Structures are given as C-alpha cells and as structure tokens.
Structure 1
Amino acid sequence: MKIFVMRHGEAEFHASSDKSRQLTVRGRLQVETKAKSILCLLSEVDIILHSSYTRAKQTAEIMADTLKLKDVEELEHWTPDSDPRNAISSLEGVVDRTPLIVTHMPLISYVEALLCDGNMVSPAGFNCAEIVQIEAEWPAIGLGFNAIRF
C-alpha cells in the first residue's frame, strides 16, 4: 500500500487554543501550490484523513478540492501529541485504499521514523505542507520502505 502523510500548511501563531489555530493566507497558498505542483503524483489517493485540529482540516479541504475527492474523514489518532503507534494502527482500516493523511509535527516525524526505521531515534523534521510517500505491505512499525518526500 502507498501512504501519503502531509504536514498542514502554515498556521496562525495565536488563537484561543492550539486546536483552533487556522491556516494563514501564506499557509493556504503553500497547500494550494503543493497540491497543484504534485497533482500527478497524488493520482492514486482515494481518501483524505485528517486530525481534528482546524489547520489540518483546512489543509485537507484544500487537498480534497484540488484532487476532486469527496471521501474526507477525521481521525482522532493524528493530533500533534498522539501516540505514533496508535496513529499507524489506525491505518489498518484503509489498507485497501491509498490515503493522504494530514497531520502535525512532531507526530508526522515519528510516524515516518517508526514506519521506515522501526524506531524513533532520529526522526526528521517536516516543513509546512511537506508530504512523504511511504510504501508498506502493511501499516506497521518497520514495514515501510521507499520513503519519498516532496
């Protein structure tokens, strides 16, 4: 299976809560530009999953519009402080699909490291609107390979 994991676009710094932070104008532009520039690479995506945080939902909506996808769902295990093991396990329900998951730092770094390296010793950072494509026979620790970032 192919798994695409994306960090949300740039978000405002101040809001009533971290969960309610919205994308900035620049953040919306980052996501729109990314989506349009790699549209052909995302042609297999058939479902978009996102965290419950506003900025992730807004990013997912922009991606869905660009990809012309209607299948967009919120997942509870993909917030910034979620356990990356639970996030990975939540993908077992979409093994027959090609998901794009919109999430946050540091979770995205830990998920990539666990899937591809089998540990979280040295997770790499992600820029806003950056995407990693990971291939895996099954969404489980250490089973990811061919990680490509764009």
Structure 2
Amino acid sequence: MIFYFVRHGIAEDWAESGLDQDRRLTERGRKRIRQCAQALRLLEIKPDLIFSSPLPRAAETASIIAEALSTDPPVHKEQLQPDAANSDFIAECLNANCSSLMIVGHQPNLSEYVAQLAGYGSNLIFKKGTVCRVEMQGEHGQISWLLPPKVLIALADVRQAKQKNKH
C-alpha cells in the first residue's frame, strides 16, 4: 500500500469568526495547491481514496487535488483535525480496501502518522503543500520521498517543458 500525506495549502492568518477551525485557503494558497496538484498529475499519482480533515483549509486542498487527479471527492475524517492524531486512524487506513491512499491534513498529525508507519521521529518538515510518499513493505513503511511545493512546481514545469519539446 502507498500513502501520500499532504499538508494543506497556505491559509488565512485568521478567520472572520476568529476561530482557527474556520480558516480557509488564501488565493495564493489555492494557486500553489493547483500547481502542486498539476505536478502530482504529471507524476501519474492517482490515489484510490483521499481522506481529508473537515477543516476548510484542508478540505479545500483535498478538493483541488481530487479534481486535478480526476479522483472521487475526498472523504472527511474527524480524526484528521489538528491535534486529533491517534493510532486507530492509521489502523483504519491500513485496512482500507485500496492500494494507494492520500491523507490531507495538518501538522503535527502528519509527521506523527508518518512516524507511526515508517518509524521516524515526528520532526519531519511539512511546509504547507508538502507531499510525502510512504510505501508499505509488509507491516513497515518506508519514506520514498518528501517534496515541498517549490520542488513539486519545478518538477511540473520541467515535465511540461519536455512534453512541449516533443511536439
């Protein structure tokens, strides 16, 4: 099984309501996530299922990615809210009937889930829009790559340029 962990895009500093849980993506955040999603599409990444935090900034990120990858809409999971990480959620994911799963959420949860699967400390750097791929080998996972948005966008630009040169 392959896991893709994605941190939500750049969000508002504060919501009109004053509640952190209501913060949405900024226009810059939506643009960068669209660019990252384009890179994922060009890398031919297409998860069978996308789980997302129900908070607007993560839900918007997951929806943008799902649309770009032509997958089913994301499934919102309460366990992906900030500071709600628990080991039962990963067990649920491992039992999902799929070969690849994308999880869109928040820090520190994402680092904790990767640490749980791959045995690393929970100090991974997940900038907003970062994608981490973990490949399961039996009961243990291995981090294949962790790409920040700048690298994803650069990959997409190079790939598109190569495709244009072929035509």
Place the TM-score, normalised by the shorter chain, in its bin: 0.7 to 0.9
Aligned 8 A contact 2:132 2:143 in 1? no
Aligned partners of 1:124, 1:132: CA distance in 2, in Å? Answer: 10
Aligned pair 1:26/2:23, yes or no?
A: no
What secondary structure does 1:94 align onto? coil
Aligned partners of 1:62, 1:71: CA distance in 2, in Å? Answer: 9
Match of 2:146 among 121, 135, 149: 149
Aligned partners of 2:78, 2:44: CA distance in 1, in Å? Answer: 23
Aligned partners of 1:95, 1:136: CA distance in 2, in Å? Answer: 14
Aligned partners of 1:6, 1:57: CA distance in 2, in Å? Answer: 11
Aligned partners of 1:107, 1:146: CA distance in 2, in Å? Answer: 16
CA offset at residue 42 of structure 1? 4.6
Larger Cα Rg: Structure 1 or Structure 2? 2
Aligned 8 A contact 1:59 1:102 in 2? yes
Aligned 8 A contact 1:77 1:90 in 2? no
Percent of residue pairs identical: 29
Q: Structure 1: which 5+ residue stretches go unaligned?
A: none
CA offset at residue 96 of structure 1? 2.4
1:104 corresponding residue in structure 2: 106
Aligned partners of 1:62, 1:26: CA distance in 2, in Å? Answer: 13
2:158 corresponding residue in structure 1: none
Residues 121-148 of structure 1 deviation map (CA, whole Å, 9 limit, x = unaligned): x52120111000101146x6xx111431
TM-score (norm 1): 0.86
Which one is further off, 2-11 or 13-22? 13-22
Residues 52-78 of structure 1 deviation map (CA, whole Å, 9 limit, x = unaligned): 111111001100110111242111211
CA 1:18–1:108 in structure 2 vs 1: closer, same or farther (change >3 Å)? same
2:54 corresponding residue in structure 1: 52
1:133 corresponding residue in structure 2: 133
Aligned partners of 1:32, 1:44: CA distance in 2, in Å? Answer: 15
TM-score (norm 2): 0.78
RMSD: 1.8
Question: Which 4+ stretches in 1 moved above 6 angstroms?
Answer: none
CA offset at residue 29 of structure 1? 1.1
What secondary structure does 2:64 align onto? helix
Specify the code of the residue in structure 2 equivalent to 1:116.
Answer: A
What secondary structure does 2:83 align onto? coil
Aligned partners of 1:42, 1:87: CA distance in 2, in Å? Answer: 26
CA offset at residue 18 of structure 1? 1.5
Specify the code of the residue in structure 2 equivalent to 1:33.
Answer: Q
